[in-house]
Amino acid sequence: MDKPVAPSHVSLFEQAKRVNKNGMEFWTARDMQKILEYTDFRNLELAIARAKKACVNSGQNVADHFVDINEMVDIGSGAKRLIKDYLLSRYACYLLIQNADPTKPMVALGQTYFAIQTHKQELFEQSSDEEKRVILREELRKHHSVLFSTAKRAGVETGRDFAIFQNHGYMGLYGGLTQKDLQFRRGLRPTQNISDHMGSTELAANLFRATQTEEKLRRENIRGKQKANDTHYEVGAKVRKAIKDIGGTMPERLPVEEDIKKIERRIKRVKGETKRELKE
């Protein structure tokens, strides 16, 4: 498995997160061992065993959250060794942290991190489609900012460079269509941002494109504008293939949605009215 890498300002737990080809996030027990500062993996396994029991007691299927694997790792001089590991869901990590050694400083931090993240996920699942759109659009903004910073280090420097780089990602994901093509097909003006008119499904696909491109640029230390462009196209094409393989609607065929800015203003207004009513 590829080693997770993320900007230094991101939480260690977030840095350790991995994403599989289907877009599912997970952590490995070996990575968690390092973060939680367990010198002996067997001691962490005791906590994992308690976490599995807690999973059963909560009515969840253990196999959905804890996956036992064996992995070959390098031990030097070309030699390899088979080691045991576990793939953990976010919920599994939450349970693991709750059952880990409370005297370890990182365990306390982990309890806070996974409690907050689990709560965020619960709130997202309870959100309306409009609220999900707003949440995903904001996440896409953030990750595009990180993506462009990483692309700049790879050699994508000018505004024109960035436009070309972004179009390569779109062309991969949208079957050869550029940003201008999408604006024309959707009846949008050149000044309108196509992301502001995407539904939650399309936003999620673009968010996956952005995060995986950024990670690949860093992980493989890609240098040069053309290589960065090719990488963005390649990742976009793979996301497109994944959508096709599961029988999803191709992103260019998804409907044009109401401008996200109008929805943001509407949600803000409703929240403001609710707040005033509570005070009265």
- Reported as a single tens digit per residue, the pLDDT across 72-92 is 777 677 778 888 999 999 889
pLDDT exceeds 70 at position 271: no
- How confident is the model over 45-58, as a mean pLDDT? 92
Distance from C-alpha of 151 to C-alpha of 139, rounded to nearest angstrom: 18
The yes-or-no verdict on residue 198 having pLDDT over 90 is yes
Residue 66 has pLDDT above 90, yes or no: yes
**Cα(238)–Cα(250) distance, integer angstroms:** 13
pLDDT at residue 64 greater than cutoff 70 = yes
- Report the alpha-carbon distance of residue 135 to residue 260 in Å, rounded: 10
* pLDDT given for residue 227 in this prediction: 97
The confidence score (pLDDT) of residue 107 equals: 81
The answer, yes or no, to whether residue 2 has pLDDT greater than 60, is no
* Dihedrals phi, psi of 14, to nearest 5 degrees: -75, -35
Residue 49, amino acid: A
Decide which of 5 and 132 is more confident. 132
Q: How far apart (Å, rounded) are the C-alpha atoms in residues 193 and 197?
A: 7
Q: According to the model, what pLDDT value does residue 48 have?
A: 95
Q: What is the pLDDT of residues 199-246, one digit of tens each?
A: 988 999 999 999 889 989 988 999 999 999 999 999 999 999 988 988
Rounded mean pLDDT, 49-70: 91
Report the pLDDT value the prediction gives residue 275, as an integer from 0 to 100.
46
Q: Whole-structure pTM over 0.75, yes or no?
A: no
Look at residue 37 and tell me whether its pLDDT is greater than 80. yes
Region class of 52: left (phi > 0), else alpha (psi between -120 and 50), else beta: alpha
Q: What percent of the chain has pLDDT over 70?
A: 87
More confident residue, 103 or 84: 84
Average confidence score pLDDT of the chain? 85
φ, ψ at 19 (rounded to 5°): -135, 130
Contacts for 134 with CB less than 8 Å, ≥ 6 apart = 260, 263, 264, 267
In angstroms, rounded to a whole number, what is the distance separating the alpha carbons of residues 253 and 136?
Answer: 19
Please tell me the predicted confidence (pLDDT) of residue 118.
Answer: 64
Q: Which two tokens stand for residue 125?
A: 């699942």
pLDDT tens by residue, 127-153: 567 777 888 898 899 889 989 999 999
pLDDT in tens, 250-259: 999 999 999 9
How many residues in the chain? 280
- Under the banding of pLDDT at 50, 70 and 90, the label for residue 120 is low
